[in-house]
Structure formats: structure tokens, C-alpha cells
Chain A
Amino acid sequence: MSLWVDKYRPRSLDELHYHPELSSRLRSLAASGDFPHILFYGPSGAGKKTRIMCTLRELYGPGVEKLRIDQRVFVTPSNRKLDVNVVQSNYHIELTPSDVGMYDRVVIQDILKEIAQTQQVDLNAKQRFKVVIINEADALTRDAQAALRRTMEKYMNNMRLILCANSTSKIIAPIRSRCLLVRVAAPSDDEMTKVLQHVAKKERFSLPSPVTKSILSTSQGNLRKALLVFEAMKMQKPDLTGDIEVAKPDWETYCSKIADSIIQEQSAQRLLDVRGKIYELLSHCIPPTVVLKTISERIVDRVDDALKPQIVHWAAYYELRMRMGSKKIFHLEAFIAKVMTVYKQFNMIGYIEDYE
């Protein structure tokens, strides 16, 4: 049993439902024999990974689907042992170096050197080079990125890199300039509808348009999320008719309830209550920036137009500080207290003074 997300994931470039120009470009790149380093970037759930796997299949054929999991042990200069899980086939290796935090440089260096120094032994292989997929390239430390840059030049002969990132802004310029940048944009609403209908057809039921609409509005261009929500809704109500609740992740519900309670009352006690909820979210590994963003979006939806720019301003202000600081809770709570203050003042005097 597998999820629809996995079950209906395209296996080849031909099967991809949207961005046909991109697909054809990747196809010709794979055929040219002069495959460059590529940096795939784009929002979460737009289909970067799917596209990468399709490209690999185009490059090497179905052999690339013969996977195995390896646990590699790396030793840092300070003698700490790091375990990193890698998934590899005969032709490629996939890893997430940012999992080991600040030691990612060690992982990058060791693994790339190892791959680069071994020749392709399979004589039937279509390409002379191996591909290294590096996930979350934008979460790599500067050191690791610098190490990457050097190896990219050095081992061009028998290795190609495919980097996968959400945005190029955190990737150093030398790497960006050495890669072919491929942006995988989020699918438009029409494209998403096409995919959803494709899945519905395969599952042999028809998809009523109000359901599509509500799915699209919650998933905001994230196809993975859309399919997950879709499946959950289908499970909830197999005929998908009538008033159907959109199946959102629990933490989103949590965040919007927090936002509601902020608007409801502005007091020390309420702040302390909200704090408990936020701790709950954080301890369940929901990234604090996501929490802040979700809460502020919900608040912006619910307040007076005059207040909206204020809320957005403060959300941006505290998110920046949160990234600079170390104790996320301080900043999240400072944001909430600030919103409470602003909201309270607005309600008392009816207008709002210019913010700093």
C-alpha cells in the first residue's frame, strides 16, 4: 500500500504533467552526452526530486532504480563519528549532508572524493560519469559549499553533481555559476487540477470541482500537499460530495487557533497560554519560521485593513531576528506580544501610529 503521491509519481520525463519545455530540455541534455552540473531549485512540492529521478532514468535507463541504502560513517577532525544514510544505485548516489549540521563539509569532501576517484566499472553504463545528488543544498554551511566548489572543478571527468534547493539565495555565487540553474516553478492551478484529475481517473472516480477548489486553496502550489490532502479527503468521504472538511495537517489547525486566541484576548495570561501551544508545536519539530508565518497569515486574514501592513512588518522583523538568534521561542513570543499590543492599541484608539 502506498500513498497516491508515490503511486502516481511520474517515472519518466514523458509522464510529467506540467512544464513540458523543461522536460524536453532535460531530455536533450541527457541525450547530448555533455551533461552539466545542475542546480534544481523551486518551492517545496513543485516536483524537483521527481524531475531529477526522471532525468536520471533518461540518462542511465531503468538500472538507476535498483537502489540500496547504505549507512556511511564519517569521522570528523575531532574524532566524532557521524552516521549518514545514503541511497545509491550503480550510477548515482543521493545524500543529505545538512543532516549532520556543521560537519557537512566532512561528508561532502569524503563522499565526493570517493566517488570521483572511482571509475565507472559497469561497461554497459550509458554514461562515463556518476551522479551525486545533494539534497537541501541551501542548508549547507559555507564551508561545505566552498569544499563543493573545489571538487566540482577537480572531478568533472567522472562525476556530475545535481543539487536540489528551495532557493538559490543561500548558495554561494561560485557554485551558482558552475551549475546549470533549473527552476522548477510551482504548478499553476490549472496544472494542479490536471494532475488531480489524472489521479482521480486512475482511481476511477470523478472529482467534483468544489473539492478541487478547496484542495488548491489549502495546498498553495504544493502538489505533494495537494495529493496528500486529496487522498485524506477521499478517505474521509468516499463520494466527495456535500460539505467536506479540508484535511489539513494538525499543526496548521493549531496555528490558526493560536491566531484566533491572540485576537480574542490580549493579556499576560493569554500570552502564557499561547506560549504553551507554541512549545507544543516546536517540540513536534514544526520549524519556528513556518509557525510564525502561518500564524501571521491567519492574523492578517482576520484583522482590519489598516492593521495588515503592521502585522506583516512585525512578522518579517521577528523572523529575521529569529534567524539571527538562538532561542526561537523568545522571538515567536515577542512577535505575538507585539501583535497583541498593536491590536489592542488599534481597538482602543481606532487608528494606528506609524511603526518604527
Chain B
Amino acid sequence: MAPTSKSSKKSSSSSSSSSSSKSSSSKTSLSAPTRKMSSMSSFQPTLNFKPSSSSSSSSSRPSTSTSSRKDEEDRKLMPPPPPGVKPKNVSPPKVPNGALNGKGKNKEVIVVDDDDDEEDNRSGLNDAQDDKAQMWTDLYAPAIEAELAPGKARIAKVKNWLHESLFGYPSDVSPPPRNVNTDKLRKYKRILFLSGPAGVGKTTTVRLLCQSLGVEIMEWGESVEEWSLGGGIDRESSISKFSSFISRSSYPSLSMTTQRTSSQPTAMKPRLILLTSLPNLSHIPTRESFHSSLLTFCQTFNSLSCPMVIIHSDAGSGGRAEESWMERDRGGREGSLEVLGREVRDGPWCQEIDFLPLAPTFLNKALLRVLQTAIPRAVDRPSHATVQLIALSSNGDLRSAINTLQLVCSGKKESKSKKRKSRGDNEVEEDGGPRKKGSGKGSRGGKGAKLDVSKDLRAVLDAMTRKEQSLNLFHALGKVFYNKRLDDPNMDDEDEELLERIRKLPPDDPLPSHLREFTRRKSLVQIESFIPTIPVDASSFALWIHQSFPNYCNEIEEISAGLDELCSADVMRTDDDIWQSSPQAISYALHLSVRGMLMSLPSPVPRKSQKVVKPQFFESFRLERDNISSLDHVAGYITKKGVVASNAFADGGVHHELGVWGGMMNKRVLAGEMVPMMVKIQSLHGHLLLPPSAQSLCLPPYSSFTSSRATAELAAKDELDAEDEYEATAAGDDGLGDVPSTHSGWDEEDSLKDGKEKEEDWLMDDDIVDDWD
């Protein structure tokens, strides 16, 4: 074998043990898609694509040989590598030609049958030990469409898109006659953007569908190793490589087609570009050139062009309480706008499909399927309850769930011999640390807690799968607002386990007399475990708290105390903060606002079905930005007018109506003095002083207070369904960014009220503007 390229290393590790030809082929088939362009590009840095494997089962074996042989020929046809590159990759594989399968696993191009999968697992039972070397996520990837974990509707959507973009007609329609031009539809199906959290099966779906459609995948991934390799070569920046990759791949590959036409002249395989890892988009020039190359890709179309699928795992903010100033500037995580650019996203070529986190039932199904194929004997399998617990605790991430499952199973096997002993050990540990158990809490973990799983197993699982589960925003806010403490009245619905745990905590030391007022009963909010589960950044969370917490107080004193804490959190700075708060300061601030709020809220909190409302701050901030820009406009207008008048003066024209230039106007003065007074004056004597854009700068008339207002209310229920939960989180995530603008009712009412009379005013003014000019 040729242990030269990255990919072959990968597969060699898996196949080091002697295994049946079939199983090895399946392994390679699964490792093949994970290989990146880099393996090839290390050989020839400018050639960044490789055809990845996919073909139907029946023809796979022969085509393995042809493609590998062809591949070798391709290499020979290529220009010699520049000096400085060791030609190690070109060395022919040492595997004898006869052993096709053995050879295939080390080749760059492997076309294998994925349907072997099951059969292989059945036959290769005894290799279970060897299989451990490989991840189950790769080994037992779904092989048929029905096994895919994501929802049927989404898969159908993806499939339909692929079909339309590749063949020009929907998948459920019979193919049109040959002479019909199918390019019309294809022209506008250029980019498919799949987004969603990690491990929900985006890539798997695309790969599997491509396989079933017989599509060749050309994958592009960021390669790193060229930095170390390319001593004498001119290094291309990765983004320019990307652009050239895109432009090249829009043409049919020459060598391959000649090969194929010689062997099978009729069929030209449709191809597809798959982008799984993206360039560094936070670097602005990179992002711009990425966007422009995508745009060119969209705009240049001929009948041979292939579509592109971009897969983007959005990281989410996983409850991190960090919010650096740079991130805030960009509005948090990268959205489709960030990745695609405005022209492409809003253009006709692009479709977005959003994958959701997998529901525990789906996960459960998938896990059981994996388990059935991986461990043949039902006795050896972990219990259903365990599987269920894993499914519940993995936060909708199938990949991590399978990895956990594998870990659990492998651990079991090893510890079997000393089962008794280890069990005893576990129990000892268990008693030692009360914090170890029950981390499966949270929105989903509540159900998990009732599963019949032995304590020690749960502890093991907790240790392994302990991921920061994020609560939904309203849940998190509710935890703060309701300020539950031990021995509150009406505590029947509380989780007994939690209560028990809190009761076990040592009692607080009594406070000295001058601090008596700060004595509180024990809080049910476990700050240390609660803080990481907050789904939005610290400052957004403070805003949400700020917006709604007065409703949960009885007295103004409590509100005042709470607001003081929010203020202290807001001014939290460390010494090195010049422009923005450092991560440390931010996490202190978050602690301060949460703890301070719990301290100042009354206990028990009055329950009068208060509403949790979206912070007005976002809307106000947006308005302020708009007003600043119209203020700029006004400033420009006034300056222009002043300059015109001043020039008239300088030319000697002594005109009584001209103003004397008094320098540029300060914005604060403009907003506070000039504009309000000019609005008054111009409405009185009917001469235009301000441009019409200044209208937004007028304050609405002061309305006397009304207690009930039709604001955009989002009721805070403890259990929102998953969809709402997701949206609410997303809305809060943006920080100051693009929060969907929901007008608060009174604003609109007021503007309606005086809108009419204002309108007439401005119309009149507009007439005058013509006169003036």
C-alpha cells in the first residue's frame, strides 16, 4: 500500500488488521467520503478536486478497477510536479493488481458498494474487536434513504432539489422527452444551502442521495498541510484556490470524460460540488472574494455546469456567556447571509434548507438500528433504557449520540470480567459526589430522569455525554423570575430529586446583624449549573431580564435594588478593556445580573400570570440608528444651505434673508436644539427649513399613561414546543442584530393619530422646496 497521502493513512489504520475483503471494502467506502481534496492537492497543488465515489452497487467492483487504473493514467497525464515536491505520491501502489479490493482501499478513488454494509456486518461479527478501531458513525452510516435520520419532508426537499438541479425536472415526474431543454430549471437551481446544528445528518443525507441518484461528488475542503509541504511552490491563498476550483469545476473534466467516453460512451455522470468546510469568512477580503466567486458561479451557467451544495453547521451559541465586541459587531453566529452574500442569497439561484436538531425519538430509532448491526447478540447490547437516555442527553446530535453509544458498548465489553468489582467502585464514587448525577436535567432531561437506568450507568453517561445543554430562553428567564426557593408554598410540582439535593446542602452560616436583611432561603437555582445553560449572550440576557422583571416585583424598592445590580453588571470592566468588555468581565457581569436579580426579587414571587416581553431595546436601537442617519441628512442639508448663503455673501451680495455661516453643527446641538425648534418655527411660518427626511426626528405627542398596551408579547410558558423555542432563541441570539421588528402597538397608534396632520404639513413644505431651489 502507499502510505503517502493523508487518506491512505486513515484507511490503513483501519485496515491494519486482517479482515475479510468485503469488510475492508466497506470501511474504505465509508472513509472515502471523509477524505478531503488536500490529499490530492498535496500532490498537485493547483488541482484541487477529486471525484468522490458513488455508483450503484452492481457495477461497483469493475468500476473500482477502471477508475483506479484510469486514475493512475490521469496522474501520468498531469504535468510533472514543480521541483521541491517529492514525487512520493506517484509511486504506484504495491498491492498486486489481482487483489482489487485490497488495492481499492488504498486508492484515491474508490467506488464501492454501500449496500455491502449490512451483509458485511453480519459476516464480520468476529471482527467486532477490529471494528473498534473505527468510529461507528462511519461504519454504520445509513445505506438507504429510509435509514436517514432527518425528517422525511426535508430529505424529500433535498432530493427534489438535487434532482431538479441535475436533471432539470422534479423527481416525482416522469422524465421529459430527450429533445426538451431541461436547462431552464437547472439554470436557477445552482446552490443549495443546508444549515443546521452539527450531527443531524446534513452531509450524510447529501452523500446518500447523490449515491442513489448516481451523482459524482466533487468535494472541496480547506487543506492545511500544504503549508508544510510547499517549500518551493508559490503558495496560493486558499481563497484563490477556491475561486479557481469553482471556475474549473464548472467545466466538465477533460481527462475523465475522455476516459469514460472510451469505455462507456453514452453516459456522462452528472456531477455536484460539495462544500463542507468554508474558508475563513470572518476575514473580510476572504469573505468578499468568496461571495464574488459564488456569484460568478451562479451567473455562469451552461448545460454542463454542475450545481453546488454548501453545508454549514451553525455553531449556535451553546450557552457561552461570552460576547466579544467583534462577535457582537457581526451579529453572533454566521448566518446564510454571512456565508453566501446578499446577492447570491437573495438571487434566484439559491435555496436554503434548514435542518433541525433531531428529536429524541428519531435519535432512538437511529441508535437502535446502529446497535442492531453493530452488536448482533441481543444479550450483549446495552438496555433500551440506556439507549433512550443517550438519545435524550445528546441534544439532537446524532453523531455524538452514536459516539457515546460506541463508548458505552466498548466499555462494557472490557469491564465484563471485573463487572462486580467495578460496579462496587462506581457506587463508592457515586456516594462521594452528589453533583455527579442528574445532569441530564434541562428541557429534555426531565423525562430522562424517570428512565429506569442504574445509577452507576447514569453516572458514567453523565461523565461522558455531559454537554452543556442550553435551556430555552424563556425557561431560563423563568428560572430567574420565579426565584424559587426552598420551602416555597405550592412546591408540589417541583422535582423531588432536586429538592432532595438542595436540602442536603449544608445550611448557610447566619449573617451578622447588620447584614440580616440579605438573608434568603436556599435558592432552587443552582447558579453554577444554570449559568452555562443560558442560551443567549450576557448582555442580551440582561436586556431580557430588564424588560420584564419589574412585573415580578411587589415594591419599587425591589425594582430599584434589581436595577442597581443590572447597572453594576453593565459597568463591569477589567483594566485591559479599552473598547469592549473582556470575556472575564462579561462572565462576572452575567453572574452579577443573575445573582443580583435572584437577591432582589421577592420570595415567593407574586404570580399574576405576568408576561415575558421582548426587550424594547432592540426596536429603540433600530429607531435610533435610523434617526441618526436622518440627522446626518439634516446636517448635510443645513450645511449645504449655509455654504450656499456664505458664498453669496462672499460674492458681495448683501441679501437680508441670507444666514451667516456659523460653522458645522454639532449633532447633539442639532438633535437637542436646532431640529426641534426648527420644526416648530417652520410649522408656524410655513417656510421650509428642514428636509422632509427630518420628519422622523419629531417626537410623537406625549400620551398620558395607559396601563394596558398592545405590545408584541411572547407569553412565557414553561413548555414551548420545539419550533417556537428555536425561534425565540434565534431572535435573542442576535444581540443588537437583526431582530425581527415587531412594532409596539402604541407607537403605531400614535403615529397614526398625528400622521395625518403631519402629512399635510409636509406636503405643503414640499411645495416650498421647489420654490427655494
* Interface residues, chain A, with chain B CB atoms under 8 Å away: 1-3, 5-11, 44-45, 49-50, 52-53, 62-63, 65-69, 78-79, 85, 87, 94-96, 99, 102, 133, 135-136, 164, 222, 224-225, 228-229, 231-232, 235-236, 247, 249-251, 253-254, 257, 261, 266-273, 275-277, 279-287, 290, 318, 321, 324-327, 329-331, 333-334, 337-338, 340-341, 344
Q: List 5 interface pairs A-B (beta carbons < 8 Å), by A numbering.
A: A66-B646, A224-B669, A224-B674, A282-B620, A337-B556
Which chain A residues border B570 with CB–CB below 8 Å?
321, 325-327, 330-331
> B657 in the interface, Cβ–Cβ < 8 Å?
yes
In the assembled complex, the Cα of A85 lies from the Cα of B638 at a distance in Å of: 13
Q: Which B residues contact A (CB, under 8 angstroms)?
A: 284-285, 539, 542-543, 546, 550-551, 553-554, 556-557, 559-560, 563-564, 566-567, 570-571, 573, 579, 616-617, 619-621, 623-624, 627-628, 631, 635-636, 639-643, 645-647, 649-650, 656-664, 666-669, 671-674, 676-678, 680-681, 684-685, 687-689, 697-700, 702, 705-707, 709, 744, 746, 772
- Which residues from chain B contact A10 at a C-beta distance below 8 Å? 660
Q: List chain A residues, Cβ under 8 A from B284.
A: 78-79
| Contact, CB under 8 Å: B663 / A2 | no
Given contacts A65-B649, A235-B685, A280-B700, whether A53 and B662 have CB atoms under 8 Å apart is yes
Given A285-B624, A287-B672 in contact, is the A2-B616 Cβ separation under 8 Å?
no
Known A50-B662, A65-B661, A69-B643; contact A272-B672, beta-carbon cutoff 8 A: no
A285–B556 CB distance below 8 A? no
For the complex, give the distance between the alpha carbons of A3 and B543 in Å: 42
Complex-state Cα separation, A258 to B447, whole angstroms: 50
Q: How far is the CB of B543 from chain A (nearest CB, A)?
A: 7
Which B residues are CB-close (under 8 A) to A1?
Answer: 657, 687-689, 772
Residue with the greatest number of chain B CB neighbours at <10 A, chosen from A68, A251, A327 = A327
Are B661 and A53 closer than 8 Å at their CB atoms? yes
Contact partners of A222 in chain B: CB under 8 A: 673
A3's partner among B556, B619, B689 (CB-CB below 8 A) is: B689
> Are A327 and B617 neighbours in the complex by a CB distance under 8 Å?
yes
Instruction: Please state if A334 and B566 are interface contacts (CB–CB under 8 Å).
Output: yes
Which chain A positions have C-beta within 8 A of B660? 6-11, 53
Kindly list chain A residues whose C-beta atoms are within 8 Å of the C-beta of B641. Answer: 2
A53–B646 Cα gap in the complex (Å)?
11
Residues from chain B with Cβ under 8 Å of A271 in the complex = 550, 556, 559
5 smallest A-B Cβ distances: which pairs? Answer: A6-B659, A2-B659, A249-B676, A49-B663, A235-B684
Q: B556: which of A228, A267, A324 is its contact (CB, 8 Å)?
A: A267
In the complex, what residues of A have CB within 8 A of residue B645's CB?
2, 6
B685 and chain A: residue at smallest CB distance: A235
Chain B residue with minimal CB distance to A164?
A: B663
- Give the contacting residue for B663; candidates A44, A78, A135; CB below 8 A: A135
Bound-complex Cα distance A8 to B645 (A) = 13
A66 touches B677 (CB 8 A): no
**Complex: A2 Cα to B217 Cα, angstroms:** 70
Given A285-B628, A327-B570, A340-B560 in contact, is the A87-B616 Cβ separation under 8 Å? no
Q: Which residues of A contact B616 (CB under 8 A)?
A: 275-276, 279
Asked if A6 contacts B556 (CB within 8 A), the reply is no
Tell me what chain B mostly uses at the interface: helix, strand, loop, or mixed. helix
A226 to chain B, nearest CB (A): 10
Question: What is the distance, in angstroms, from B518's C-beta to the closest C-beta of chain A?
Answer: 15
Is the Cβ of A344 less than 8 Å from the Cβ of B617?
no
Q: How far is the CA of A155 from the CA of B706 in the complex (A)?
A: 62
Q: Quick check: B663 and A283 within 8 Å, CB to CB?
A: no
B580 smallest CB distance to A (angstroms): 9
Do B557 and A341 touch (CB < 8 A)? yes
Q: Which of B560, B659, B667 contacts A99 (CB 8 A)?
A: B667
Chain B residue at minimum C-beta to C-beta distance from A279: B620
Judge whether A284 and B627 touch: CB under 8 Å.
yes
Query: In the complex, which of the residues B563, B674, B702 contacts A277, with contact meaning CB atoms closer than 8 Å?
Result: B702
Given the known interface contacts A49-B663, A53-B661, the answer about A232 and B668 at a Cβ–Cβ threshold of 8 Å is no
CB pair B550–A268 under 8 Å, yes or no, is yes
Q: How far is the CA of A95 from the CA of B772 in the complex (A)?
A: 27
A283-B624, A340-B560 given as contacts; is B680 within 8 A of A270 (CB)?
no
User: Are A337 and B668 touching (Cβ within 8 A)?
Assistant: no
Residues of A within 8 A of B551 (CB): 268, 272
B649: nearest residue on chain A (CB-CB)? A65
Query: A283: nearest residue on chain B (CB-CB)?
Result: B623
Give Cα distance in the complex from A231 to B687, angstroms: 13
A280 to B672: give the CA distance in the assembly, Å: 14
Cβ A282 vs Cβ B672 within 8 A:
no
In contact, B639 and A11 (Cβ under 8 angstroms): no
A8 and B662 CA atoms in complex are apart in Å by 11
- Name B564's contact: one of A235, A269, A334 (CB within 8 Å): A334
Contact A261 B705 (CB under 8 A): yes
Which of A79, A95, A282, A326 touches B624 (beta carbons < 8 Å)?
A282
A69 contacts B640, C-beta separation under 8 Å:
yes
Given A50-B662, A334-B566, CB of A228 within 8 Å of CB of B674: yes
**Assuming A79-B284, A87-B643, is B677 touching A228 (CB within 8 A)?**
yes
Chain B: which residue is nearest A11 at the CB level? B660
B689 near A331 with CB under 8 A, answer no
Residue of B640, B658, B702 touching A7 (CB-CB under 8 A): B658
B646 is contacted by which of A67, A268, A321, A338 (Cβ under 8 Å)?
A67
Given contacts A63-B650, A232-B684, A281-B699, contact A2 B657 (CB under 8 A): yes
Q: What A residues does B542 contact at CB under 8 A?
A: 327, 330
Distance of A40 Cα from B744 Cα, bound (Å): 45
Contact of B647 among A66, A95, A273, A276 (CB under 8 A): A66
Contacts of B709 in A (CB 8 A): 276
Chain B residue at minimum C-beta to C-beta distance from A290:
B672
The answer for the CA separation of A62 and B661 in the assembled complex, in Å, is 12
Measured CB to CB, the closest approach of chain B to A107, in angstroms, equals 14
Q: Which of B543, B546, B699 contacts A250 (CB 8 A)?
A: B699
Contacts of A329 in B (CB 8 A): 546, 617, 620
Instruction: Compute how far the CA of A50 lies from the CA of B662 in the bound complex, rounded to whole angstroms.
Output: 5
Give B555 Cβ to nearest chain A Cβ, in Å. 8
Known: A135-B666, A224-B669. A334 touches B677 (CB 8 A): no
Contact: A272 with B663, CB < 8 Å?
no
Question: Who on chain B is nearest to A102 by CB?
Answer: B579
Cα(A5)–Cα(B658), bound, Å: 11
Contact assessment for A330 and B627 in the assembled complex, using a CB-CB cutoff below 8 Å: no
Minimum CB–CB distance for A233 against chain B, Å:
10
Contacts of A276 in B (CB 8 A): 616, 709, 744, 746
Q: A228-B681, A250-B698, A329-B546 known; 4 other A-B pairs, CB under 8 Å?
A: A8-B660, A282-B620, A334-B567, A338-B560
Given A87-B643, A285-B631, A340-B560 in contact, is the A250-B659 Cβ separation under 8 Å? no
Chain B residues whose C-beta falls within 8 Å of the C-beta of A321 in the assembled complex: 567, 570-571
Distance in angstroms from A65 CB to nearest chain B CB is: 4
B676-A3 in contact (CB<8A)? no
Q: In the complex the two chains form, what is the Cα distance from A6 to B646 in whole Å?
A: 11
| In contact, B658 and A331 (Cβ under 8 angstroms) | no
Shortest Cβ distance from B631 into chain A, in angstroms?
6
Q: Is the CB of B657 within 8 A of A7?
A: yes
The answer for the CA separation of A68 and B647 in the assembled complex, in Å, is: 8
The answer to whether B640 and A266 touch across the interface, beta carbons within 8 angstroms, is no
> Are B639 and A327 neighbours in the complex by a CB distance under 8 Å?
no
B664 touches A135 (CB 8 A): yes
Chain B contacts of A9 at CB under 8 A?
659-662
For the complex formed, measure the closest distance between the CB of B113 and the CB atoms of chain A, giving whole angstroms. Answer: 51
A39 shortest CB reach to chain B, Å: 15
> Which residue of the partner chain B has the closest CB to A96?
B664
A277 to B666: give the CA distance in the assembly, Å: 25
Contact A52 B663 (CB under 8 A): yes
Chain B residues, CB < 8 A from A338: 560, 563-564
Minimal Cβ-Cβ distance residue in B for A94? B664
The closest CB in chain A to the CB of B580 belongs to: A326
Q: Are A266 and B676 in contact (CB under 8 A)?
A: no
Interchain CA distance A250-B284 in the complex, whole Å: 43
Instruction: Output the least CB separation between B764 and chain A (Å).
Output: 14
Alpha-carbon gap, A41 to B674, bound state (A): 20
